[in-house]
Amino acid sequence: MKKTILILSLMLACIFTACNPKNCEDVPSYFDIENLNLEIKKIAKIYADQSFSTTSFDLNNLIAYNEIVLEITPQFSYYGNVKPFNFKDFFINTAYAGKCPEPGHQGSTAHISKIAIFSNQPFTDSNSIQDDLSTYFKISGLNQHFGAIKQLEIPSFLSTKPDLMRMIQLTLKENPTVNKEHEFTIIYEQSNGKTFELITPLIKFE
């Protein structure tokens, strides 16, 4: 009997203090991207499902085209409050965890509208520095619900009006044939009008 009373007391304390749904009203539901960070990584291991792990890379060294990863991670802002609380949702979705939902848990209302990639040097005999090289790359990463995106063609990926990503990894499909040193510029646009430009340091290919 005492044990039952103790459990009920703890549940009530959770509901009306730390787990009080009123405390969740200030948790923003949606996220947007305020800035993008770019790092040059090296593929460490490729797995059977086409996913891969990465490691840091010294840009003073040469690298093979099929080892390089342009890794883009966003800085988020959050907006919109959670929907009005009701006890049914609370006990089904959050009471077991004893905490409010994470900020941005409903994702974003915008989608990715453009990813274009340019180089300061011609990439092949048929390219100029004005050409978009996105067809020479594939895209991987994590979508807004932390689902894996694996080695998709960029034009096909963009045609689906994809949700904002929590991480983007760009990998090359071909080796540059004209010049072996490239600085890539990545143009990233969203459906809400936000545009970002990222420039890599000089990359030296084998």
Using one digit for the tens of pLDDT, what is the confidence trace for 148-194?
999 999 999 999 999 999 999 999 999 999 899 999 999 999 999 99
Domains in the chain: how many in total?
1
State the sign of the Cα–Cα–Cα–Cα dihedral 170, 176, 178, 181: positive
Residue 99 has pLDDT above 50, yes or no: yes
- For the stretch 28-69, pLDDT in tens is 878 889 999 999 999 999 999 889 999 999 999 999 999 999
Dihedral of CA atoms 44, 139, 41, 129 in degrees, nearest 10, equals 130
Residue 11, domain member (yes or no): no
Residue 26, domain member (yes or no): no
Q: Where are the alpha helices (DSSP H) in 25-137?
A: 87-89
pTM value? Answer: 0.79
Residue 74, domain member (yes or no): yes
Neighbouring C-alpha atoms within 13 Å toward the C-beta of 40: 25
Domain that holds residue 180: 32-79+109-204
Q: Please, are residues 24 and 15 in contact by the beta-carbon 8 Å criterion?
A: no
Q: Which residue has the higher pLDDT, 178 or 84?
A: 178
Residue 2, domain member (yes or no): no
Residue 96 has pLDDT above 50, yes or no: no
Residue 153, domain member (yes or no): yes
